[in-house]
Amino acid sequence: MKKAPSPSGSKPFPWLLVALGLLVLSAAVAVGWNWYQKRYPSWYEEVRLSDGRVITIHQKREHYDNYGTAQSWVTIDLPELGGKQVWHSYLMPQRVDMVDGKVYVFGIPRGDRQLTYYKYPKYFMVGFVWRGSMFERVPFMSLPVNIREAENVLPCLPKEVGINSSRVAIQKKDQAWCLRRNNSGKSSQKIDIDEYKALADKWAAIPRWEEKFRSE
């Protein structure tokens, strides 16, 4: 005996298919979010300025496991900036500071693509100063001497120095710092200008960049 059709003539709602679809969608979102966090890691970081103030910046990177940092975004909140401003560069940030009312930032290129973009800087590092509406590039050696002596921002990812947290406190940074760029295997906040210049000359010699075409 055949079952009588329902008065409305409609079929049962496919709840099982909907549930399976939602499960697949949730898995896809989870995979996508994991990929994004790995490619674009970000964290909050305490930074001590030259005048003694401690501020919290936000770092975000485009990072590749087989290459490193391709570009970065550093959000800085200072009265001298008129509020929050983002410093975007193709560098690994090394320092954020304020001297005599001016806000300075600088960083270091990761590899040949970034070095080419910044025209193989003679001192390897690339400096900027806030000009009221943007961070303007300036010769690195024109930055105040006292801020050229050391890093106060992590140029590497926190996990590379054993910090697995989305908030990096100064106390944690003081206990572990990033490896130096000279392949010595040693970590240090100190900046040796002569060492960096020698490293910059070595990199520039590979593609044979002439000194007169290199940036300051």
Write down the pLDDT at residue 39. Answer: 84
Series of mean pLDDT values for 10-residue runs along the chain (216 residues): 55 70 61 68 97 97 92 97 96 97 96 94 97 96 96 95 93 88 76 93 91 92
Write down the pLDDT at residue 49. Answer: 97
Give the C-alpha separation, 135 to 26, whole Å.
Answer: 41
Write down the pLDDT at residue 129. Answer: 98
Write down the pLDDT at residue 152. Answer: 96
Count helices and strands (H / E) in the chain.
4, 9
Write down the pLDDT at residue 183. Answer: 63
Enumerate the domain spans of the chain: 39-213
Write down the pLDDT at residue 180. Answer: 79
Prediction pTM value:
0.83
Both structure tokens of 116: 């080419």
Neighbours of 29 (CB within 10 A): 10
Rounded to the nearest angstrom, the gap between the alpha carbon of residue 174 and the centroid of all alpha carbons in its chain is 19
Residue whose tokens read 């975000």: 60
